[in-house]
């Protein structure tokens, strides 16, 4: 890991996507279990907030991608209020990254492309689980899984129309690094027109 003393306005990249890639690459190589996990915060149209952990599946110099059931709580919230936030917290390195922005649904073609890369059992689960809905018991879920695993036993699994991806397009980043005596370093990037402006925040 990079020496924590090296984290400053002089050493970070002026492009927050590159800075994210630098830290994320170190994290991926750290041996941590499920390094792609990230907390996702969403809110309903009337401001009811909820948070859960999802898996980051892709990112580039414009957005971050994750997948879900569009009928789930997070799916329905994002479809009514596209504002969302990510929180990556890595206690092993004393770092966290916060990202806020607007979400957009991926095209069905892009969702289909990723769906085909999933293990067949996971593809079937996307049919079996009516995510976030109330179900009577565990057996109900297992019965649905058995039904769909049999249905698709000899054919490829179709992607459900209610399943797909979202991209989070950031307009704000914060990179946080733990410091002694709670004097942490916090550098934020805010999008102003087409430029990223860096600011230091008090810990």
**Closest by Cα among 159, 153, 77, 168 to 115:** 159
DSSP state of 8: S
Q: Residue 96, by phi and psi: left (phi above 0), alpha (psi -120 to 50) or beta?
A: beta
CB 193 within 8 A of CB 177: no
CB 167 within 8 A of CB 103: yes
**Closest by Cα among 119, 117, 145, 115 to 130:** 145
| Catalytic one of 52, 95, 144, 182 | 182
Q: Is 192 an active-site residue?
A: no
The enclosing H or E element of 137 equals none
Phi, then psi, of 178 in degrees rounded to 5: -60, 135
Report how far residue 33's alpha carbon sits from residue 57's, in angstroms, rounded to the nearest whole number. 15
Q: Cite the active site residues.
A: 182
């Amino acid at each position: 890991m990079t020496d924590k003393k090296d984290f400053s306005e002089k050493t970070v990249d002026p492009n927050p996507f590159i800075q994210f890639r630098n830290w994320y690459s170190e994290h991926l190589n750290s041996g941590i279990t499920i390094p792609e996990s990230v907390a996702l915060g969403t809110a309903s149209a009337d401001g009811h907030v909820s948070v859960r952990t999802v898996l980051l599946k892709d990112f580039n110099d414009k957005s971050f991608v994750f997948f879900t059931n569009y009928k789930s709580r997070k799916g329905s919230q994002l479809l009514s209020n596209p504002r969302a936030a990510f929180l990556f917290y890595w206690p092993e390195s004393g770092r966290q990254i916060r990202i806020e922005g607007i979400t957009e649904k991926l095209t069905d073609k892009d969702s289909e492309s990723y769906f085909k890369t999933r293990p067949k059992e996971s593809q079937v689960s996307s049919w079996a689980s009516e995510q976030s809905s109330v179900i009577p018991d565990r057996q109900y879920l297992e019965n649905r899984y058995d039904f769909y695993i049999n249905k698709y036993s000899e054919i490829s699994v179709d992607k459900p129309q209610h399943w797909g991806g979202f991209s989070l397009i950031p307009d704000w980043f914060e990179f946080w690094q733990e410091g002694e005596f709670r004097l942490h370093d916090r550098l934020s990037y805010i999008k102003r027109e087409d430029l990223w402006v860096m600011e230091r925040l008090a810990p």
